[in-house]
Amino acid sequence: MRIAIASDHAATELKADLRDWLVENGHEVADLGPEPGESVDYPDYGAKLASVVADDTAERGIALCGSGIGISIAVNRNAAVRCALVSEPLSASLAREHNDANCIAMGARLTGSDMAKACVTAFLETNFLGGRHQRRVDKLSNLKDS
């Protein structure tokens, strides 16, 4: 699978760990940055990630920051992307099954490497159920400001 991964400066270590693990498991991974030691703004990297998922350069995306909250908000600014903040495998599976999430976000200060890998595994191995969930997902892509 083609996977893009991006973080802010608080999550470069977890990003590198996940990137290497994903490559070892046969995935094509685009590391969108940043490099360790750079102080960066999570909205910039969230926007980069959302862009490559929205244009199908990557099939799925993994967004990381200190808490996962800020970067998930940034990624979700793109209407073509559905990014779920997850902290354990069940939420990652449900994000795929019910919401057809094409990105997940995690917090490096809150989620250790082993748990992050378990979340990514659930996210990548779970299929969207469709059915009654499809119309709800369709609505997410067509929300208008009131």
Catalytically active residues are 65, 98
Residue whose token pair is 């967004």: 63
Q: Under a CB-based contact definition with an 8 Å cutoff, are residues 120 and 98 in contact?
A: no
Q: Is 72 helix (H, G, I), strand (E, B) or coil?
A: helix
Q: Decide: residue 33, CB within 10 A, 0-12 exposed, 13-18 middle, 19+ buried.
A: middle
Output the known binding site: 8-9, 66-70, 99, 109, 132, 136
Q: Under a CB-based contact definition with an 8 Å cutoff, are residues 7 and 72 in contact?
A: no
106: tokens are 């995690």
Distances from the Cα of 5 to the Cαs of 122, 134, 142, in angstroms? 16, 26, 26
Strand partners, 62: 5, 104
Output the known binding site for D-ribulose 5-phosphate: 8-9, 66-70, 99, 109, 132, 136
